[in-house]
Structure 1
């Protein structure tokens, strides 16, 4: 082969091979577009969802929320610093069990005795509470962000952790409730006792429908981060609340020996709030000792559209737009809570909580 032929062949090979080389190089440099747009799920942020069933704001049970999201109720958001898990619930919609209130909330799949060990921790910030409601109703403008619930008997709640903020206020209140495990078969006399953490307790209400009490000086603003720790051990419930710039608060409550076994034991707060509407029961002596308990965590909206004439403590008369969720979201008639971290521990003695879901789903 002469020199001219060799040069021609080399030129031909270069022209043929170059596109292939460029194709290979481009393939290795091209980012994986599918990977770049991958959703961030709640279970990527807080990997503990195998312990829970997720109840959504439409009353449905979504099961274990691993690699799961719902655009209306449960998804993730980034505040410019990190990712958070968002729980959102309107003032009205389909509800879970016998409750009057909507929730997007985790419910633990196991239950446990209060005489064994159990612990739940969480760091969160409340981003919205309802913009409407009757200020004279104690539950208006409030959301429950953590609970201990009974799976048995009356299915009452030895713990509810609340955040509440009146519409004209910058700061809201954090408080916790103990609900008695009512003696006897009739649970209509049950009542809550409220304890303030930062700000006011449940009993501080407005004098008129749209007249609000004084804003709490040591309250918590929307978007302000705080943490709670719930630990149950040997029948005692130990609570700890932490927020930067605020005093850390700790509380203890016996879950297996009642403080409220006679009418003389009913505290003044209850005498003022609940007794006038016929909720004047007493508690069984061993409180919750004979029942299985379980944790809940999320956004359990305490504001609803029911008339205050039905119950002046729990029926808010708030705007619901006939249950239209998007209209409620548009004008602020919903509760929204963001969680940054959370953890759960229960002893090996915990058993399936399937019966609770069978009864309430």
Structure 2
């Protein structure tokens, strides 16, 4: 073959090989980049440090959730604007501690004492799903707790639970918060909650029949609507702040070291109608939660379960659980799902290890 043809052909082959290799290299880099973008851990979205232990919806204690995900319970999602941490939990399954309810929830690794506390928790979230089944007469049906203060000592009661609740046929749901009394004496069976509405209704608004729902709240929060809460406990006083665009900002204050429920006459009307008829009619210690170590929790603590309402008409929902089959529950909406975009914690210098609580409850 003539040399004048060989040289251009060699150059052509070389150029072709170069282009192919370069194209493969770009594809490889793109694929790797896409894989990195998809593999975003929850701890990449919100820094958990070593402030939290993670409990999953199957009852297991993960420990520190740094660089961890679980596709059934705890992972990330992007709504087109931002990355969020997803907490998901079914109506029925293995639970943690003595609870009747499943949870995918962070629990603070340290505890603090209300009287000397200067501790804070802030979070921005949206609830994406609550159970589609349950008994409408049961106050806890169709609800999820998205933030808590929990006692690690004594009866291990809860001076704060922040709820979201939405009935199946409604567009708007309610946000409300609970104070649970720290029951006087050794018998904690008489404990009860007092519920305060933030937006929409409080816990006590229920259906008259199993499948009959009350009137929809006009100032409520819909699924997928963003809202924030701030919790501060300082010198024995709990201050709460709730914010959401298009809704009035709400502020509340509660004394955690001096009770207002020390006698039967102090039991509020809401409690007399909701809890007293089922035997939950206790009174509180005079110093409430003083002297007990408390800690923050946040996530998706599903309040809807499959237990019969005959057991407890406030807390046992009679919802569908498919015998504890998690994937079946997820398929037909029998779960709670909460997305958090932001969360931050301030831990006081007087706080101490909370390991004892996890040891007792795991």
Common fold: TM-score over 0.5: yes
Displacement, 1:26?
6.2
Structure 2 match to 1:130: 131
The 3 A distance-change label for structure 1 pair 325 and 49 is farther
Q: Could you tell me how far 1:50 is from its partner in structure 2?
A: 2.2
Alignment of 1:1-361 (within 5 A): 29=26, 31=29, 33-38=31-36, 39-114=39-114, 115-361=116-362
Residues 138-188 of structure 1, C-alpha deviations (whole Å, 9 max, x = no match): 000000000000000100000000000011111000000000001111100
Task: Describe the SS at the equivalent of 1:62.
Answer: strand
Structure 1 residue ranges (4+ consecutive) displaced by more than 2 angstroms after TM superposition: 10-30, 32-36
TM-score of the superposed pair, with normalisation by structure 1: 0.94
Q: CA shift at 1:72, angstroms?
A: 0.6
Provide the C-alpha distance between the structure 2 equivalents of 1:336 and 1:172, rounded to a whole number of angstroms.
14
**CA-CA distance at 1:67 after TM superposition:** 1.1
Larger radius of gyration: 1
Change (3 A) 1:202 1:12: closer
Q: Which whole-Å deviations, capped at 9, do the CAs of 1:286-311 have from their partners, x for residues lacking one?
A: 11111000000000000000000000
Answer whether contact 2:140 2:203 (CA < 8 A) is retained. yes
Q: Which runs of 5+ in 1 are unaligned?
A: none
The total of aligned residue pairs comes to: 357
SS at match of 2:62: coil
Relative to structure 1, the CA distance from residue 325 to residue 13 in structure 2 (aligned partners, 3 Å threshold; closer, same or farther) is closer
Q: Given the superposition, is the C-alpha separation of residues 150 and 15 from structure 1 closer, same or farther in structure 2, using an over 3 Å criterion?
A: same
Please give the alpha-carbon distance, in whole angstroms, between the structure 1 residues aligned to 2:166 and 2:89.
Answer: 16
How far residue 25 of structure 1 moved from its aligned partner, in angstroms, is 5.8
Q: Per-residue deviation at 1:82?
A: 1.2
CA deviations on 1:233-276 (whole Å, 9 max, x unpaired) are: 11000000001111000000000001111111110111111111
Q: d(CA) in 1 for partners of 2:140 and 2:26? A: 57
Is contact 2:92-2:305 (8 Å) kept?
yes
- Cα distance in 2, alignment partners of residues 181 and 287 from structure 1: 6
Shift of 1:79: 0.9
CA RMSD in angstroms, aligned pairs only: 2.1
- Give the distance between the partners of 2:343 and 2:215, measured in 1 at CA: 33
What TM-score do you get using the length of structure 2 for normalisation?
Answer: 0.93
Between the aligned partners of 1:27 and 1:176, the Cα distance in structure 2 is 56
